[in-house]
Structure formats: C-alpha cells, structure tokens
Amino acid sequence: MSDEAGTAEQPENTGHKDKRKDREWQIERGVAIRAGFYIFGTHLFAGFVWLLFFLGEHASK
C-alpha cells in the first residue's frame, strides 16, 4: 500500500514543483527588469548632472 501512496503523490508534487519554479522564474525576471530600470535611471540622472556641470563650466560669465 505504501507503494501506491508514493506513486499517487509523485504527480502532485511534480506539478507543485513546476508551479514553484514558474513563480520563482517570474520573480527573478521581475527583479532583473527592476534592476535594469534602476541602472538605466541612475545613468540617465548621472548624465543629466554631468551635463549641468559641463554647461555651467562653459557658460559665458
């Protein structure tokens, strides 16, 4: 009887593990996208600040 119970549980556990892997993949993808936006935004802001310093240095006084 324990063999029957073990076989009956395997498909359910496999399905549960697949759902967990899909969810983890979605979370990892979300983190990667968010990190990409943060990196892009930080570089954009740094470029803007650099532009302000450059224009301020070359402004006619």
Per-residue pLDDT of 4-44, as tens digits, reads 555 555 555 556 778 888 888 889 999 999 999 999 999 99
Interval 43-47 mean pLDDT: 98
In this prediction, residue 51 carries a pLDDT of: 97
Structurally, how many domains does the chain consist of? Answer: 1
Interatomic CA distance for residues 2 and 6, integer angstroms: 6
Please give the pLDDT value at position 18: 83
Rounded to whole angstroms, the Cα distance separating 53 from 59 reads: 10
Give the tokens for residue 52: 């302000």
* Structure confidence at residue 21 (pLDDT): 81
Whether residue 58 is predicted with pLDDT greater than 60 in this model: the reply is yes
Give the residue numbers spanning the domain of 5. 1-61
